[in-house]
Amino acid sequence: MSAVGESPDGTIEILNIVPMQGPGGIFAPSCDAAISLATSEINRGAGILGREIRTTNIDGGRPPAEVATEVAALLATGMVHAITGWHTSAVRRAVAKANDGRVPYLFAVSHEGLPDELPGVLLVGEHPAGHTVAAVRWLGRELGVRRWAIIGNDYIWPRETAKAVRRSLIDPEAIVLERFVPLGTPSFGEFLLHPDLDRAEGVIILMVGADVSRFNRQFCAMGRAADQVRVSPAADENVLLAGGAGANHNLYVPSSFFLNEKLTDGRDRKARYRRMHGRFAPALTTFSNATYEAIHALRGLAETVGSLDVPSLQRALADGVHFQTPGGPRGFVGNQAIQPGYLARADGVEFDIIDRIW
């Protein structure tokens, strides 16, 4: 970020909020490298609105109030033009209040789909209807999974997503077990040994990062993976690697984009990433790609609207603005980006796309 007192007119300053600690810290190196790729690509062109962009990553793995306090201090300098990031919804809610509509805030993570976001918050991550709910419906239709257990971290996204899943199920008794645990929970024995879990044909994992890989290892160690499927909207290639290939059997993951040979842009993007960062860089993953897309979405919106002014952006969204990103054309319904939805099955430590679900 520019030094205090430096004129901001020459650059566009972007805050990226990514977790550098806690269960989500597993994603930080990949996100940082993906953001660098997006920044380099944009600056090799015309930047944003003819200005070079510069990015500053701050730690979104801290308590939400602490993150919001730092964001508020940086916004007070008048030299922050936009916020993007991959972090929890609890952090988003706190940061949105601190931002108070001053700059556009592109949230790149799947979210809970509540309609009460503050002005300036643009949801470029997946809505549960085209993501978790769609995946649960597909598994019911194609694999005959009718009875579910849910385990989630104890904050807004897992709880609200669980409600959305429950509302989508025809049978009110379809969820046989539901538990929410703190971030960083070391053992899931109470859930895994609960007798009601034996009645479930599938498990919906609404946890973050390292918690997902830890749960997968314990789940498979108990021999459950052979007979019970799992679906996790918060698993990427880092989660697969952390769990190990043996922990990923019968695991399904929905996403709007996979870095997969079946998707041409995914293949090309991985090649560009490797040319920039080398063979030993952190993996470019589904989640780090979301941060890459958010930076490019900011550029696409700004160039189409001609401004980063939040009221101007809000009016453009209401008018049905469309813009271009490396992943293709994008539009919004309200403040929610329109995007496809795919379902992949874990194959060792990689993903195999099996269907489009949205």
CATH number for the domain whose boundaries are 11-127+263-340:
3.40.50.2300
Query: To 10 degrees, what angle do helices 89-99 and 64-75 make?
Result: 30
Please give the Cα distance from 289 to 192 (Å, whole number).
32
68 φ/ψ angles, rounded to the nearest 5 degrees: -60, -35
Q: What is the mean pLDDT of residues 254-281?
A: 83
Q: Is 151 helix (H, G, I), strand (E, B) or coil?
A: strand
Residue 107 confidence (pLDDT) above 60:
yes
**Lowest-confidence pick of 4-18, 296-310, 320-334:** 4-18
* Amino acid 327: pLDDT: 80
HSE (CB half, 13 Å, CA atoms) of 170? 5
pLDDT band at 273 (very low <50, low <70, confident <90, very high): very high
Residue 313 confidence (pLDDT) above 70:
yes
Could you tell me the CA-to-CA distances from 55 to 13, 16, 143, 286 in Å, in that order? 6, 7, 44, 21
Please give the Cα distance from 21 to 199 (Å, whole number).
36
User: Residue 220 in contact with residue 228, Cβ under 8 Å?
Assistant: no
Quote the pTM value: 0.94
283 contacts: CB under 8 Å, gap ≥ 6: 30, 237, 238, 241
Could you tell me the CA-to-CA distances from 187 to 184, 192, 216, 218, 247 in Å, in that order? 9, 9, 11, 8, 15
User: Residue 223 in contact with residue 254, Cβ under 8 Å?
Assistant: no
Domains 11-127+263-340 and 129-256+342-357 alike in fold: yes
- Give Dmax over CA atoms of the chain in angstroms: 63
Give the pairing type, strands 105-107 and 322-325: unpaired
* Amino acid 326: pLDDT: 87
Of 5 and 220, more confident: 220
Q: Does domain 129-256+342-357 correspond to CATH entry 3.90.550.10?
A: no
pLDDT in tens, 19-52: 999 999 999 999 999 999 999 999 999 999 999 9
pLDDT band at 9 (very low <50, low <70, confident <90, very high): low
Q: What is the mean pLDDT of residues 218-229?
A: 97
Residue 99 confidence (pLDDT) above 70:
yes
Residue 264 confidence (pLDDT) above 60:
no
- % pLDDT > 90, the chain: 89
β-bridge partners, 16: 57, 84
Report H helices in 82-209.
Answer: 89-99, 132-143, 156-168, 189-192
pLDDT in tens, 284-302: 998 999 999 999 999 999 9
pLDDT band at 4 (very low <50, low <70, confident <90, very high): very low
What number of other Cβ atoms are within 10 A of residue 314's Cβ? 18
User: Residue 81 in contact with residue 12, Cβ under 8 Å?
Assistant: yes
Report which of 44, 24, 132 is spatially closest to residue 85, judged by C-alpha positions: 24
Residue 18 confidence (pLDDT) above 80:
yes
Residue 58 confidence (pLDDT) above 90:
yes
**Lowest-confidence pick of 103-107, 114-118, 131-135:** 114-118
Q: Which amino acid is at 119?
A: P
Could you tell me the CA-to-CA distances from 118 to 17, 66, 156, 210, 320 in Å, in that order? 18, 19, 16, 30, 19
pLDDT band at 7 (very low <50, low <70, confident <90, very high): very low
pLDDT in tens, 183-202: 999 999 999 999 999 999 99
Domain positions in the chain are 11-127+263-340, 129-256+342-357
Report, in angstroms and rounded to the nearest whole number, the Rg of the chain calculated over CA atoms: 20
Q: What is the mean pLDDT of residues 90-114?
A: 97
